Structure 1
Amino acid sequence: MAEVEFTIGHKEYSLGTQDGEEKQLQRAAEILDGEARQIIEQAGRMPEPRLLLLAGLMLADRFASMEARAEKAERLANRLQSNPTRVEVPVIPSDLKEAMAELAARAESLAERLEDQQNG
């Protein structure tokens, strides 16, 4: 079992974790510490239990919001998969196609003449 040391707000902690899960615990602690530091900046120093409660509630609120957004996106993806929207591809008018082909042919002709003049 590995020991991970981290700081939340103004207090240091050490917690045991399964081998290989150290980075995950460290990242979670960093996120909780970020919330705690915001609270301390706004409200000042406070008792540890209250700080942890407020930081946990802020994270839970953010999680609930992200969960709702993910569910909405999933419903939209499911709806699009079951009923794909018609996709229209713009059609190039035939006279424009012909004009572009004519321009391309002229450009090639000019390039060949220029090459012939440089070589000859």
Structure 2
Amino acid sequence: MPEVTISIGGRDFDVACQEGEQPFLETAARMLDAEAQTLAQQIGRMPELRMLLMAGLMLADKTAGLEDQLADLSAQLASQQALVEELGARAAEPGPMTEEMAARLEALAARAEAAAEMAGE
């Protein structure tokens, strides 16, 4: 099991992870470190446990906000997909015949009948 040294809030931690998970662990550590650095700038030095707790809570708050946005966007996407399906179904249905279309069809039918009569003579 590989061991990775990560730095959070200016403090180093040795953390074990599964093979291949190092990039994910390092990314997560950078995110936590960014929150810890923000805390250090705003509050100053604090006990390690409190710094990690506060940084974790800040990340959880951001994650909750992103999850809410994702749920909203998923609902909007589902609504749009339903609308696209409805419009597709409407496009596949024959639409109402307009007066102009009916007149053209009648004229074509009359011409076809006249042509058939002439061909029969």
Q: Same fold (TM over 0.5)?
A: yes
Write the distance in 1 (CA, Å) between the matches of 2:18 and 2:86.
51
Query: How many pairs are equivalent?
Result: 87
Secondary structure, counterpart of 2:84 in structure 1: coil
Alignment of 1:87-98 (within 5 A): none
Write the distance in 2 (CA, Å) between the matches of 1:85 and 1:47.
56
Write the distance in 1 (CA, Å) between the matches of 2:7 and 2:35.
12
| 5+ long unaligned stretches in structure 2 | 88-121
Alignment of 1:49-64 (within 5 A): 49-64=49-64
Q: Cα distance, 1:10 vs. partner? A: 2.4
Q: Cα distance, 1:86 vs. partner? A: 9.6
Q: Cα distance, 1:2 vs. partner? A: 0.5
Flag the structure with higher helix content. Answer: 2
Which residue matches 1:72?
72
Deviation string 1:31-50 (CA, Å, 9 cap, x unpaired) is 10010000000100000111
TM-score by length of 1: 0.69
Write the distance in 1 (CA, Å) between the matches of 2:39 and 2:47.
12
Q: Which segments of structure 1 move beyond 2 Å, counting only runs of 4 or more?
A: 84-87
TM-score by length of 2: 0.68
Which residue matches 1:81?
81
| Structure whose CA Rg is larger | 2
CA RMSD of aligned residues (A): 1.7
Which residue matches 1:9?
9
Alignment of 1:22-41 (within 5 A): 22-41=22-41
| 5+ long unaligned stretches in structure 1 | 88-120
Write the distance in 1 (CA, Å) between the matches of 2:45 and 2:21.
31
Q: Cα distance, 1:11 vs. partner? A: 1.3
More displaced stretch, 58-67 vs 78-87 = 78-87
Write the distance in 2 (CA, Å) between the matches of 1:17 and 1:84.
45
